[in-house]
Amino acid sequence: MQGSTLDFYNSHAAAYAADGNRPNPKLFPFLQRCKAGGRILELGTGGGVDAAAILAAGFALDATDGSAELAAIASRRLGQPVRTMLFRELDVEEAYDGVYACASLTHVARDELAGVIGKVHTALVKGGVAWASFKAGSAESADALGRHYNYLSVKELTAYWRDSGPWASLEVESWSGGAYDRRPTDWIAVTAIR
């Protein structure tokens, strides 16, 4: 994650964490595909809203965020530690039944994305499920708030994941919605099974 992006989340952590208290509706189909009661890694926990829903659904959760300020807020919300960790620091093998990354890997520079996805693949047990959402687009750039985005097309996103496998299955979905900046946003998500 770029320094300016981390600076934004550290500087605006309280406002960002307070923005919305409903879990992502896409979380629940992901959880249904994971081993019941299994171990989930969340990359980019933010304020901990989705993390709370993961715990409430009976999963063991390893919640992480690159922003120390957001990790502290989420730790208080969850009543358990949230690790401050950059995506490139992920370094475990076959440890998780699921990896969930809602609007977080979209901040990874394109030249680092394949390596991060490879780490996600390695972190999953065989049959484990990864779900990650990205802002759609055609060129890497910063948004109006100074946050870095990789802005990928469906074709590009599919290629990054396919080439970072091998995956037993790979599905891509897209939809239009909103985001923290209140701008209309086209989203793409990958569901990948190791």
Q: What's the CA gap between 109 and 107, in Å, rounded?
A: 6
- Superfamily holding 3-170: Vaccinia Virus protein VP39 (3.40.50.150)
Q: What's the CA gap between 122 and 114, in Å, rounded?
A: 12
Q: Is the per-residue pLDDT at 3 higher than 80?
A: no
Specify whether the CB–CB gap between 48 and 69 falls below 8 A: no
Q: Residue 193's Cα: distance from chain center in Å?
A: 16
In the structure, what pLDDT confidence band is assigned to residue 64 with cuts at 50, 70 and 90? very high
The three-state DSSP-derived secondary structure of 157-191 is HHHHHHHCCCCCEEEEEEEEECCCCCCCEEEEEEE
In the structure, what pLDDT confidence band is assigned to residue 23 with cuts at 50, 70 and 90? very high
Q: Is the per-residue pLDDT at 59 higher than 80?
A: yes
pLDDT of residue 183: 82
Average pLDDT, the chain: 96
Mean pLDDT of all residues in 49-77 = 98
Write out pLDDT tens, residues 97-111: 999 999 999 999 999
Which residues make beta-bridge pairs with 133? 189
Q: Is the per-residue pLDDT at 25 higher than 90?
A: yes
In the structure, what pLDDT confidence band is assigned to residue 2 with cuts at 50, 70 and 90? low
In the structure, what pLDDT confidence band is assigned to residue 1 with cuts at 50, 70 and 90? low
Write out pLDDT tens, residues 134-158: 999 999 999 999 999 999 999 999 9
Amino acid residing at 101: A
In the structure, what pLDDT confidence band is assigned to residue 34 with cuts at 50, 70 and 90? very high
One DSSP character per residue, the chain reads --HHHHHHHHHTHHHHHHS--S--TTHHHHHHHSPTT-EEEEE--TTSHHHHHHHHTT-EEEEEES-HHHHHHHHHHHTS--EE--GGG---SS-EEEEEESSSGGGS-HHHHHHHHHHHHHHEEEEEEEEEEEEB-SS-EE-TTS-EE--B-HHHHHHHHHHT---SEEEEEEEEE--TT-S-EEEEEEEEE-
In the structure, what pLDDT confidence band is assigned to residue 123 with cuts at 50, 70 and 90? very high
